[in-house]
Structure 1
Amino acid sequence: MWHGVKSFFHVIIVFQCVLFVLYLLGYKDIRKSSKWLLMLFLIMTALTELGGTLSHFLELRTILIDRAPLSLYAYYPFKLASIPLIYLYIVSLTHKDYTFKSNHLLHFIPFLTVAIYIPIKFYSLEPSIAKTLVENRTLLEGLDYDIIKFAEFFQFYIYAVLSIILIKKYRKRIKASFSTVDNIYLSWPYIVIWGLICWKTLRMTDYLLYVSIEEIDIKILYLFYIAGEIVFLIFISLLFLKGLKQPNVFFGIIEGTSKGKYEKTAIPEIQRKSYENKLTQLMEEEKPYLDPFINIKELAEKLSFQTHHLSQVINSSFNKNFFDFINSYRIEESKRLLTKYTPQEKTVLEILYDCGYNSKSVFNTAFKKQTGLTPTQYREKATMKVA
């Protein structure tokens, strides 16, 4: 029964991965590098799951042992190709001009090592012995199996950590250039990484229980394995549904324009003070912060400043990054409107749109960070003072 259940999940995941790849092939308006890296990840995943299918369909397994025994181990190397592909996919999302380079092939050394080692071991044995080992599922056992599994898990978590660090750095960089980050905040790659972490952690738990407890109930191992498959199935389903609704989420992440605080020559103090005054005047008179999509480049053009000069003025004179600087004005404007209008005259939702926000959650977070209160609490407190 358990073999049948595992096979069912393998088949469903293979089907979804193939369907997803076909969908991506038909989608043209995207970054080619991101598209192909994501597609290759799905293909490697499908091949890995297909290997699981071959292992658990007993009738098919019997046929393959007689005709092509090595095919039952062909999927092992693909496990070591998936996570580098996801890492490079995230690199492509966070770097506008990303291109695949020859040195990126170094990421696939573990994949190539296992892909070469398995056939070498198989053909180094007598055919009858090799076939028997495959039939007994012991071609890779003991130290061989443990090393491959260790490489699989170690590689996965290393790349997962590197991916999270990369996303965090990019999120920080984005704030230096954009005033609205709810739609470019890279929540998408976080979903990808944490979804994979949940799945792989269940797989690792299954393996650790297997090697550490000699007389463990096989049903427990099957439950962890199937739980991992369910998590991965949900993950792939969410990817596909997200792609159908918002295909640009896979490839449309905006590249920030700011590369650092002071990469250019620092402006003189007198000039900085003049820039500060001009900036303050513009913010108070023209209120550019009411534009939900204002970014540092556009604001610099309004002031006839160099972008890096404006960044330096905001950092040095106001001790803020661009995101916090713009939002400080938006919050002050929202406070004014919350005090001026009653809930019947203007709702909180209407006010947040009037102040340059297009996300209620982002507005609430920013407002509470600056005031210590939610917008509703602030309005109630202001009303009580007036009364």
Structure 2
Amino acid sequence: MTEIQLLNSISRIVVFLLLFFSFFLLTVRGNKKKSNQLFSVFLLLVAIDISAFFLNDWLSKHLFIETFRITSSLLQMPVFYFYVLSVCYTNFKLRINDLIHTLLFIFFYSFLIASDYSKKAFLVFQIISEIQYFLYIILIFIALKKYKKIYLENYTNPEHLNYKWLVQMTSILLFAHLFVLSKFFIQFTNNINLILLLNVIVIISALLVSSYFVLKALHQPQLFSGIEQNNTPISKYIKKETKIITSEITSENNEKIKLLEQFMTEKEPFLDPDLTIQKLALQIDFSQKELSTLINHHIGKHFFDFINEYRVLKAMSILKNQSQKDITVLEILYQVGFNSKSSFNTAFKKHSPMTPIEYRKQFLSNK
């Protein structure tokens, strides 16, 4: 079997699997239907792109279809960008204005047809498509940064935090695309063997990355618990209300902070593992905006850290209590509102150089 035949065989397998994953995501039941649909379209676009490896002869006879295949690569990153937004935000919706993201595709489809695929026109297309790819990568990271900020200011359950996984996902996609970028430069050297090798790496990378994304999405559905899209970072409230909210904590704010701290100590709302700033605001009879400003701006902590500090302090009091020495660390972390051992240990390290077990041993051994 020649290298070209091997490439054709592998690409057929990859396209078949991508189409299978795409169809599966469209039909699978779940509460993230929109995200699945968007990711399904993304996989379909990748499959269309890769199909050229074994449909090259047929596509060369159908110029309009081949032009669509080539220029459809300009739709991949916009679709992936919307996929990320749909994962982050529960109320995400595609709007008519979002069609602006298809303009580059429409333009180059017409441009390549009109220019009759001149080398100069195709080179312009390749350069612009690479620029577009990296611009969308930047947009995705900006969106994820905003998502993380809003999450930390309003939620406490790190197991529902999509940020790390989506960053990982985008980084893997970026790394895999570097092989495509390498192909772009190597094509000018006319090194056929190296180009064939890179083509094999590209399609195998496409398969591995897509498979990883699909399996991750299906086996860890908790990653897909988004937040409300209309939430805004508290810093924007502060900027809008600089005439009302000053950097100095007024006596009124001092009273509110004391009331909040008293409520946290006496009522212990932090024991609720799914506590959000909205829930706490209702319990203490503050507006959500007022409470968010108080914690994130005046106290100077993210809501995420503010709540977890109370949980850790509660856990510490249990760990050094002689009468509760038979309660395991795992039982304690769930008792004080954490959802996993990893999130508990991470929060605990911020308040003690020791592990929870070491902390318990030190205090109990001194009694």
TM-score (norm 2): 0.85
Which residue in 1 is equivalent to 2:183?
Answer: 206
Code of the aligned partner of 1:160: I
Match of 2:167 in 1: 190
Q: Is the 8 A contact 2:154 2:276 kept in 1?
A: yes
Give the conservation status (yes or no) of the 8 Å contact 1:331–1:367.
yes
2-structure distance, mates of 1:291, 1:238: 33
How far, CA to CA, are the matches of 1:21 and 1:108 in structure 2? 21
1:21-60 alignment, distance < 5 Å: 21-27=22-28, 29-30=30-31, 33-55=34-56
Q: Relative to 1, partners in 2 of residues 1:51 and 1:245: Cα closer, same or farther, differing over 3 Å? A: same
Amino acid at match of 1:255: E
Equivalent position of 1:255 in the other structure: 228
Between the aligned partners of 1:256 and 1:361, the Cα distance in structure 2 is: 28
Relative to structure 1, is the Cα distance of residues 258 and 118 closer, same or farther in structure 2, using a 3 angstrom cutoff? closer
Greater Cα offset, 311-320 or 288-297: 311-320
| 1:290 paired to 2:264 | no
Choose from 303, 327, 331 the match for 1:346. Answer: 327
Distance 2:86 2:156 in 1: 23
Q: Deviations over 1:153-184 (max 9, x none)?
A: 21111101110111011111111111112223
Query: Could you report, residue by residue, the CA deviation over 1:216-271 in whole angstroms, capped at 9, with x for unpaired residues?
Result: 4x333333332232222111112222343345745x41227752324676599444
Matches within 5 A, 1:1-387: 1-27=2-28, 29-30=30-31, 33-55=34-56, 61=57, 65=60, 67-68=61-62, 71-122=65-116, 139=117, 141=119, 143-211=120-188, 214=189, 216=191, 218-246=192-220, 249=223, 252-255=225-228, 258-261=231-234, 262=237, 266=245, 269-340=250-321, 345-382=326-363, 386=366
Q: Counterpart of 1:320 in 2: which secondary structure?
A: coil
Query: Would you say the 8 A contact 2:160–2:222 is kept in 1?
Result: no
More displaced 10-residue stretch of structure 1: 146-155 or 24-33: 24-33
**Contact conserved, 1:91 with 1:98, CA < 8 A, in 2?**
yes
Cα deviation 1:326-365 (Å, max 9, x = unaligned): 0111111222233336998233322221221112222222
Aligned residues: 358
Does structure 2 conserve the Cα–Cα contact (< 8 Å) formed by 1:173 and 1:256?
A: no
Q: Distance in 2 between matches of 1:99 and 1:245?
A: 25
Q: 1:257 to 1:155 in 2, by over 3 A?
A: closer
Structure 1 range deviating more: 80-89 or 253-262: 253-262
Aligned Cα root-mean-square deviation (Å): 2.9
AA in 2 matched with 1:239 = F
SS at match of 1:75: helix
Q: Deviations over 1:269-309 (max 9, x none)?
A: 44423322222122112211111111111111111111122
Partner SS, residue 253 of structure 1: coil
Partners of 2:11 and 2:354 lie apart in 1 by 49
1:97–1:71 CA distance, 2 compared to 1 (3 A)? closer
Which range moves more in the overlay, 368-377 or 226-235? Answer: 368-377
1:7 deviation in Å? Answer: 2.1
DSSP 3-state at the match of 2:94 = coil
How far apart in 2 are the matches of 1:364 and 1:90?
29
Rg (Cα) greater in structure: 1
Structure 1 residue 100: Cα displacement: 2.3
Contact kept, 8 Å, 1:41 with 1:86, in 2: the verdict is yes
What percentage of residue pairs aligned between the two structures are identical?
A: 27
The 1:165/1:46 distance shift into structure 2, 3 A limit, reads: same
Change (3 A) 1:317 1:244: closer
| 2:51 match: secondary structure | helix
Alignment partners' CA distance in 2, 1:119 and 1:316: 56
Relative to structure 1, the CA distance from residue 152 to residue 180 in structure 2 (aligned partners, 3 Å threshold; closer, same or farther) is same
Question: Which amino acid is the alignment partner of residue 70 of structure 2?
Answer: Y
The range that moved more, 160-169 or 236-245, is 236-245
Whole-Å separation in 2 of the counterparts to 1:54 and 1:236: 21
Distance of aligned partners of 1:266 and 1:50 in 2 relative to their CA distance in 1, 3 Å threshold: same
Letter in 2 for 1:361: S
Name the CA distance, whole Å, in 2 between partners of 1:341 and 1:140: 81
**Cα separation, partners in 2 of 1:344 and 1:383, compared to 1, 3 Å:** closer
**TM superposition shift of 1:64:** 5.5
Any unmatched runs of 5+ in structure 2?
none
In the superposition, the TM-score normalised over structure 1's length comes to 0.81
Moved more, 263-272 or 107-116: 263-272
Unaligned stretches of 5+ residues in structure 1: 56-60, 123-138
